[in-house]
Structure 1
Amino acid sequence: MIKTLLKQALKLHLLRTLDLQFAELLVNDNYHPARFLVTALLSAEVGKGNICLPLSQLTKNMLFKGEYPELSRAIWQAAGKPQNWHSIFKNWSALTSVNQKVAPIILDANSLYLHRLWEYKEQIINFLKSNSIFESFASEQIRAVLDKLFGIDSENCQKIAAAVVLTQKIAIISGGIGTGKTITLVKILMTLISLSKGNLRIQIIAPTVKEATLLKGSLRKILQALSLNSVEQKHFPLEVISLYRLLGVHSETLQPKYHSNNHLHLDVLVINSAFMIDLKMMVNVITALPPQARVVLIGDQYQLIPMKVSSLIGDICYCYAKSGYSHKYALKLSLLTGCKVPIVDSLNNIPIVIQNSICLLYKKHDFNQNTVIEQLARFVNNGKIKKVKSLLNNSFTNIKLRPIINKKDYLVMVEEIAENYKSFLKLIYKKAEIIEIIHAFNHYKVLCIMQEGILGANELNYSIEHKLIDLEFIQPYRFRNPWYQGRPIILTCNCSTLGLFKGDIGITLYNHEGILKVFFLHTNKMIQSISLNHVPMHKTAWAMTIYQSQGLVFNHTALVMPIRFISQLTRELLYTAIISTRNYLTVYSRNSIFYHTLQSPYQRYTGGLESFDKLINS
C-alpha cells in the first residue's frame, strides 16, 4: 500500500525512482511501512543536496512541504500514523547510532544520515574545529603592510579579513555581490608574498575549469591597476586551476592522485567559490592538505548551493555566522588593523574557533549603493517583501515585472525576447567583426529555472527559434539540420583537447570561406573556431538555466519563472539571477509566484547546528 502511494509521489516528481529502489533494498514495506517511508524520504533529501533528514521534518503536515495534503494524509495513514520515531527505529538492522555498529543509515542528534555523508560531515566539522592561530609574522610587520595596501580607515572589513588570513590556519571569507571579494583576495596574496618574501607556495583553485578561467581573467585585470614590487610580481600566483586538476583526479577511475598518504605540495591554498564544492570533494581536498597549509575559503553564502550534496561551509555562514569575533581575538585584530572590530558576545551555537575564522564582507565596492539593481538584490537577499514591492512599483525603466498568466502573455514575452536579439542578429548580416557579434550576444540573456517542462529552457529555445524564423531574423532548418547562422550554443561537457569547457558559449557563423563554424571567445580575447562535427555536447542557448549562467554577467537579463510554484524556486535562485545583470532586469512571472519565491529561502539540512551543540557541550 505505501509503495503504491509513493509511486504517485514519483509521478509528481516529489520522489525519484532511485529513492524507492533504495527503500526496497533496506526495508520490507509490507512489515515496516514507516521505515520504508523514512528511507525513501532520506534518499530524496540527499538527492536535493541536503546532508541529512531531521526528525522534526517527519510529520504529516511537513511531508512534501505541504504541497499535496491529500496524498500526504494517505501516505501517513498507510505508514501507520507514526509518532515515536525512536521506537520505530528500534532493532532496525539498517540503522545505527553514533559509535555503534556500522549500518547504511545513522541517527545522530535527531537527524538521519546516510552513513557515508555523516562521516564526510564529521570530517569537515573536525577540520574547522582544528583551526589554530598562526604566529608566522611579527605584528608590527603585519600592521605596516596592511596599512599600505588597505589604507588606514577605521572601518574596513576587507582589511580585517586579511588580518584573519594572516593569523589563522583556516579563514572563511563570505560576501555578496559587489563586496570586493576578488580585490580583497589579490591584496591578501600580496600581503602574504610581501611578509614571506616570496617563500610561500600559493595555489588558487576554483570548482570548475570555467570558473578558474574567469577568475584568472579577473585577477589579471585587477593586477594591471595595482603597483606590485619586484617580489610580488615574481611570486604572485597567476595560474588558477580547477579542483579536479589540483587533486589529480583520474579521468576514468575518478580517483585523486593526492590524498591523505600523498599530500599536496603547497603552503597556502585559496579556494574560490568554495561554497559550490560538494561534500565529498571538499573532504578530498581536506585530506590531501599538508599539515602546515593555510586554507582560504571564499564564496557568497547567498548564491545557489551546488546541485550535489553541499559542502556545509557555506551553510555555516548562511545559517549561523554573525559578523564579529570573540573579545580576545577582536582585540588582536584591532591592533593589527587599526580598525573597529565587531565583538560577538553570543556565538550563536558556533564554537569560538570557527566563529573567529569567518570574515563577512558587507561594504559595497563594485556596485553603486543607490542603483536599482543593487537595491533589489539586497532586498531579495534579506527577504524584504515590502521594499521589493515598493521598488517594483516605482516604475523604474530598467527593472520590470511582467505577468505571465495566459497564452497571449506567453506569445508577447517570446516576441519581446526575439526583438531583444534583433541587434545581435543584425550585426551578423552586416558581417561585423566576430568579437563584436559575440559581445552583442552576451549583452542580453534569457534565464530559466529548469531545463525541461513548461517555461523551461528547452521549450523557450524552441519558441524563440520559431519566432526568429517567422520574423525572418534567422533561416529555417534544412533537412532537419539544427545548424544555422546565428545559432548560439552552450557546452554541456568539458573537452580539454579543444580547450573548451562546460558553460562556454559559442556562436554559429560563416567563416570567410562560406563554411558554418562555431566561434568561441576566450578570456584572453582570442577567438577559436570549431567545425560543426567537432563541437562537444551542447544545447541551444537563446535561453539557459540560472545554474548554467553562474559566473556570467549580462547588460540585460530576462528571467522567466514557472506558471506554478515548485520546490526549486528559492530566494537564492532569484538572487543569483538578479546579480547576473549590470543594468536591466525583466522578470516574466505571476506576482504570486515571484513573491512566494521571495519568501522561500532554501531549507538546508546539514546537521551543522547539532554538531556545533555537541562540540560546545563537550
Structure 2
Amino acid sequence: MNPTLKQLAGEVRDGRDDQVAQPLAVRHDLLRQLDLWVARGWLRALDRAFVAFLVELQPQADPRVLLAAALTSHQLGHGHVCLDLEATLGAPDAALSLPPEGDEGRDVLLPSQLLHGVRLDAWREALAASPLVEVVDERPGDPEPSETATSPLVLCAQRLYLRRYWRHELEIALALRERLGRQAPLAADLAPRLAALFAQAPTEDGQRVTDWQKLACALAARGYFSLITGGPGTGKTTTVVRLLGLLQAPAVAAGQPLRIRLAAPTGKAAARLSESIGQQVRALPLAEDVLQAIPAEVTTLHRLLGSRPDTRHFRHHRDNPLALDVLVVDEASMIDLEMMASLLDALPPQARLILLGDKDQLASVEAGAVLGDLCRDAEEGWYSAETRAWLQRVSGETWQGLREGSAQAHPLAQQTVMLRHSRRFGASSGIGRLARLVNRQQAGDARALLDSPPADLFDLRL
C-alpha cells in the first residue's frame, strides 16, 4: 500500500532545526522527500527517475549531490539549462518556482526548509568530490568538450549542468567566438549601396532619428555572425529584405550569386516570413536579376537540417555541412540550446548566419533562451570606438545615449543591433512607455503608469 502524503511528510520532517535538514544527511530520507515532491506535482517523474539512475551508478552518492541533480533536472523542465547553486541557496523557493502556483506547500518540506543551513562552499565541495560530477574551468580559452568523459553532471563555477547541455553551451560559445574573430569580405561600394537602399531617412514625431535598420545591414554585411533584435513594428522583416539585397547585388554583379536560405523554428513562422518577404522584395530599388536571386521561400529549421526519425541527430552536421553562403533565421527567440548547437555545427565556415527576433518575446519551448542571452548587451549598445567609427563612416548615421565598450569585453555587441523605433507606436506613447518598463522588469514604475494612464493607454482590470 502506497504511503499517504502525510505519512511521507512525517518521515522527512525530522531534523528541521539541525544545521542540515535530515533528508540531506540520510540518503533514504532524501529519496522519500523527492517521492513526496513528485506525488505533489512539484517534481516530474523524470526528475526522480534521473536520481534513481544516479543511485544505480553510485549507490553511496552524497544526498546533497542527488538533490542537486534532481533540481538541475527540474530546472530543465522550466527552461533553464543549469542549476545556479548560489541563486538557489539565496532564495530557494523563488529560484525553483516551488511550490507551484496554487499549492500552499502544507504537509511537505519546502526547498528553503530542506536547504536551510547548507553553505555554498560545502555544496560545491560535495559535488566536486563526487564521481558523478566533472568540475570544469570557465576561462575563455576552454578546450573543446572531452569526447571520453562520462560523468552525467558537470560543475562549472557555481552552475551545475547535465553533461549534454553543458556540451551544447560550450560548443555554441566556441563556434560564436570563432565566427566573431573573423571579418567577412566587404563590397568596395558598400556605403553607396547602403545609401541607395535607405534613401528615405526615418522620423519620429517629426524629428529625424537614427536609422537602426541601416546600421543593422551594415554590421551584418561585415560579419559571419550577426544579431538583429527589436520589438513589434520595428521593421525586422524590412531590414532583412534590404540586407539580402545588399549582400546579393554585388555577388550577382560579379557573376557569383550567393546561395541564400531562409528558415524559422516553426512552420507558422516560416509561412509568415515567406509571405512578408515575397511582398517586400519587389519594392527594392535593385535590378531584376538581383531581385530574382533573393529567395522568398522559408523552411523550418528541422527541415533545413534534415531531421531523422528516432534520433536527435540531423542529416547535416560538421562532416556534411549545409550548401549555402547566407542563412537568415527569423523568430530566433524560439531556438533552444540544442537546436542552436546543431545549427552552428551544420554551417560551413564561410557562411554568414543572421539571427532575427525579439529578445523579449516567444521564448523557446525547450531549455535555453539563446537569443535573450546573446542579446544581453543590446539595450545599452556597448559598441567599441572602432565599431562606432566604422558604422558612422559607411552609414553616415550617428546616435546618442548608448554605452561604449571594448570589442574584447563585449565581442557580441559589435555584431548586434537593436531596432529601436516602432512604426506601430511611438516611444513616448502610453503603450510604448509601458512596453519599455515591462521589458526592463521595472514593475513598480509599470504599475504607477497603469494607475495614472495616459489618454492612449487603457487598463482593463478583471
Q: TM-score, normalised by structure 2?
A: 0.78
Q: Does 1:268 align with 2:321?
A: no
Q: CA deviation at 1:363?
A: 1.6
Q: How far did 1:8 drift? A: 3.5
Aligned counterpart, 1:111: 159
Determine the structure 2 residue equivalent to 1:2: 30
CA offsets per residue over residues 68-117 of structure 1, 9 Å max, x none?
Answer: 58778665666684321122224311111127853100111221111111
Distance 1:29 1:36 in 2: 11
C-alpha displacement of 1:236: 1.0
Secondary structure (helix, strand or coil) at the match of 1:59 reads: helix
State which of 64, 72, 77 in structure 2 corresponds to 1:42.
72
Asked if 2 retains the 8 angstrom alpha-carbon contact of 1:180 and 1:366, the reply is no
How many angstroms does 1:58 deviate by?
A: 3.3
2-structure distance, mates of 1:64, 1:135:
45
Contact 2:277 2:296 in 1 (8 A): yes
What is the aligned partner in structure 1 of residue 185 from structure 2? 136
Cα separation, partners in 2 of 1:334 and 1:24, compared to 1, 3 Å? same
Q: What amino acid is the match of 2:244? A: L
Q: 1:171 to 1:320 in 2, by over 3 A?
A: closer
Distance 1:90 1:97 in 2: 6
1:377–1:341 Cα change, 3 Å: closer
Q: Runs of 5+ in structure 2 lacking a partner?
A: 1-28, 100-104, 138-145, 202-208
CA distance in 2, matches of 1:397, 1:191: 38
Q: Conserved in 1, the CA contact under 8 Å of 2:224 and 2:352?
A: yes
| Residue 318 of structure 1: how far off its partner (Å) | 3.5
Task: Give 2:118's match in structure 1, choosing from 53, 61, 82.
Answer: 82
Q: Quick one: distance in 1 between partners of 2:251 and 2:356? A: 22
2:258 matches 1:200:
yes
Aligned equivalent of 1:307: 365
Task: Please give the root-mean-square deviation of Cα atoms over the aligned residues, in Å.
Answer: 3.0
Structure 1 residues 249 and 18, CA gap change in structure 2 (3 angstroms): same
1:124 aligns with 2:182: no
Q: Does structure 2 conserve the Cα–Cα contact (< 8 Å) formed by 1:176 and 1:361?
A: yes
SS of 1:402's equivalent in the other structure is coil
How far apart are residue 135 of structure 1 and its match?
4.8
Task: Output one character per residue of 1:363-395: Cα deviation in whole Å (capped at 9) or x when no partner.
Answer: 222434565444433332233433444345448
CA distance in 1 between partners of 2:377 and 2:71 (Å): 23
Distance 1:401 1:72, change over 3 A: farther
Query: Kindly tell me: are residues 24 and 350 of structure 1, through their superposed partners in 2, closer, same or farther at Cα, counting changes over 3 Å?
Result: farther
Alignment of 1:13-412 (within 5 A): 13-27=41-55, 32-59=62-89, 61-65=91-95, 68=99, 81-83=117-119, 84-98=122-136, 101-130=149-178, 131-139=180-188, 141-151=189-199, 153=201, 155-197=210-252, 199-253=257-311, 255-310=313-368, 312-318=370-376, 322-340=380-398, 344-346=403-405, 351-369=409-427, 372-384=430-442, 385-391=444-450, 393-394=452-453, 399-403=458-462
**Contact 1:279 / 1:310 at 8 angstroms: preserved in 2?**
yes
The answer to whether the 8 Å contact 2:187/2:250 transfers is no
Deviation at 1:291, TM superposition (A): 1.4
Pairwise mapping of residues 384-463 of structure 1 onto structure 2 (< 5 A)? 384=442, 385-391=444-450, 393-394=452-453, 399-403=458-462
Q: Which whole-Å CA distance do the structure 1 matches of 2:199 and 2:294 have between them? A: 21
Q: What SS does structure 1 have at the residue aligned with 2:381?
A: coil
8 Å contact 1:3–1:29 — kept in the other structure? no
Structure 1 residue 216 displacement after superposition: 0.8
Give CA-to-partner distance per residue, 1:298-355, whole Å, 9 cap, x none.
Answer: 11111131120125343121467631411112211111111115674345x9744322
Instruction: Give TM-score scaled by structure 1 length.
Output: 0.59
SS at match of 1:124: helix
CA spacing shift, 1:91–1:80, aligned 2, 3 Å: farther
Residue type of the alignment partner of 1:401: L
Cα distance in 1 for partners of 2:419, 2:94 equals: 35
Q: 1:182 to 1:72 in 2, by over 3 A?
A: farther
Query: For 2:83, what is the secondary structure of its paired residue?
Result: strand
What count of residue pairs does the alignment treat as equivalent? 401
Q: C-alpha separation between the residues in 1 aligned to 2:414 and 2:240?
A: 18
* 2:183 counterpart SS class: coil
| Counterpart contact for 1:219–1:238, Cα < 8 Å | yes
Contact 2:82 2:162 in 1 (8 A): yes
- Cα–Cα, structure 1 residues 103 and 245, in superposed 2: closer, same or farther, change >3 Å? same
Map of 1:478 onto structure 2 = none
Shift of 1:3: 2.7
- Give the superposition deviation at 1:192: 0.8
Contact 1:127–1:286 (Cα < 8 Å) also in 2: yes
Change (3 A) 1:134 1:89: closer
Q: 1:395 to 1:58 in 2, by over 3 A?
A: closer
Q: Percent identity?
A: 29
Matched residue type, 2:350 = Q
Tell me the SS of whatever aligns to 1:183.
Answer: helix
Q: Secondary structure of the equivalent of 1:356? A: helix
What is the deviation of 1:136? 2.0
Residues 246-255 or 40-49, more deviating: 246-255
Q: Which moved more, 1:371-380 or 1:16-25?
A: 371-380
What is the aligned partner in structure 2 of residue 535 from structure 1?
Answer: none
Q: Deviations over 1:483-515 (max 9, x none)?
A: xxxxxxxxxxxxxxxxxxxxxxxxxxxxxxxxx
1:213/1:3 CA distance change after superposition, 3 Å = same
Instruction: Sort the Cα spacing of 1:63 and 1:174 in 2 relative to 1 into closer, same or farther, 3 A.
Output: same
Aligned positions of 1:551-562 closer than 5 A: none
**Contact conserved, 2:242 with 2:284, CA < 8 A, in 1?**
no
Q: 1:236 to 1:38 in 2, by over 3 A?
A: same
Paired residue secondary structure (1:222):
helix
2: CA distance, partners of 1:387 / 1:77: 33
| Secondary structure at 1:275 match in 2 | helix
- On the 8 A contact 1:57/1:63 being kept in 2, the answer is no
Contact 1:179-1:364 within 8 A present in 2 as well: yes
CA distance in structure 1 between the aligned counterparts of 2:215 and 2:448, rounded to whole angstroms: 35
CA distance in 1, matches of 2:446, 2:379: 25
Q: Which moved further from structure 2: 281-290 or 313-322?
A: 313-322
**CA distance change for structure 1 residues 254 and 110 in 2, over 3 Å: closer, same or farther?**
closer
Q: Secondary structure at the match of 2:411?
A: helix
Task: Confirm or deny: 8 A CA contact 1:203 1:269 kept in the other structure.
Answer: yes
